[in-house]
Amino acid sequence: MFNTIEELVQLSQEYPSVAEMMIAVEMETSGADRQMIIEHMTKNKNVMLQSIAKGTAGVTSVTGLTGGDAKRMHEYIEKGETLSQPTILKAVRNAIAVNEVNAQMGLICANPTAGSAGVVAGVLAAITEEKNLTEAQQLDFLFTAGAFGLVIANNASISGAAGGCQAEIGSASAMASAALVAIAGGTAEQSAQAVAITIKNMLGLICDPVAGLVEVPCVKRNALGSSQAYISADMALAGIKSVIPPDEVVEAMHQVGMQMPTIFKETAEGGLADTPTGRKISQQLYKD
């Protein structure tokens, strides 16, 4: 077992990959055999892909506050006149799709949470399409993301209510960036650096859901989080390192989360939730 990113990187040297290490650890801690673990992760992956397909086709949330943006992004990409690289925009589209399905009360895979479920799923689907990943490679992606996510969850938080949105979108983006590095052939150490780069950029991100719903600004933060994962991965693969070690970055996120005022931790009392429009939306929704 590993408790820190440094231990994760060291332990992974004893296995073919971080993914294989994570499978071995899961077998040891859960008592499940390899086949059961693979089948469970395959089920998770399939749910992710199904939610992307559903969201991209177009859905509307129960409140009517969000919906249709994944479809709009898809149509924009199809025109072929985008400013950003298409693969990144597909990850953005996918991330929006998942969280629009979540807001519609559809089936998603919380990874690491429901509010941040679009990031890892969105990036996985985009890189799978771009690189034509095999089933095994897709599962490796998810096991790698899970390994780094486990450290973050155990040493900081993945909960917006406990640590702000840095703990949700920040963690999800870090997990996706680490997995991207691994899929691209990078080392475990480079994956660790991608995690540090990502969290550093999202340090202090507040959780300020309008009307207390996981819609605004959550859906669009998933979109931007997926793009951050790509940039962090490329930076790490280029040999760029975080001056602050990854484990210290995770601890910094933990400290910031503890020091963050409660109005910025999923209470809908601050930030965008407390803007005139945010308050108006809340009053209207709960009046209805």
> Which domains, ranges and CATH numbers included, belong to the chain?
5-286 (1.10.4100)
Residue 159 pLDDT greater than 80, yes or no: yes
Contact predicate 186/222, CB 8 Å: no
- pLDDT value for 287: 87
Residue 39 pLDDT greater than 90, yes or no: yes
Q: What is the mean pLDDT of residues 141-146?
A: 98
Q: What is the mean pLDDT of residues 57-85?
A: 98
- pLDDT value for 207: 98
Residue 145 pLDDT greater than 70, yes or no: yes
The tens digit of pLDDT for each residue in 194-243 reads 999 999 999 999 999 999 999 999 999 999 999 999 999 999 999 999 99
- pLDDT value for 288: 59
- pLDDT value for 225: 98
The tens digit of pLDDT for each residue in 245-271 reads 999 999 999 999 999 999 999 999 999
Tokens standing for 260? 């963050």
Query: CA-CA distance, 26 to 59, in Å (whole number)?
Result: 35
Residue 107 pLDDT greater than 80, yes or no: yes
Average pLDDT, the chain: 98
- pLDDT value for 173: 98
- For 115, the enclosing helix (H) or strand (E) is none
Query: CA-CA distance, 45 to 27, in Å (whole number)?
Result: 19
Percent of the chain with pLDDT over 90: 99
Query: CA-CA distance, 111 to 122, in Å (whole number)?
Result: 11
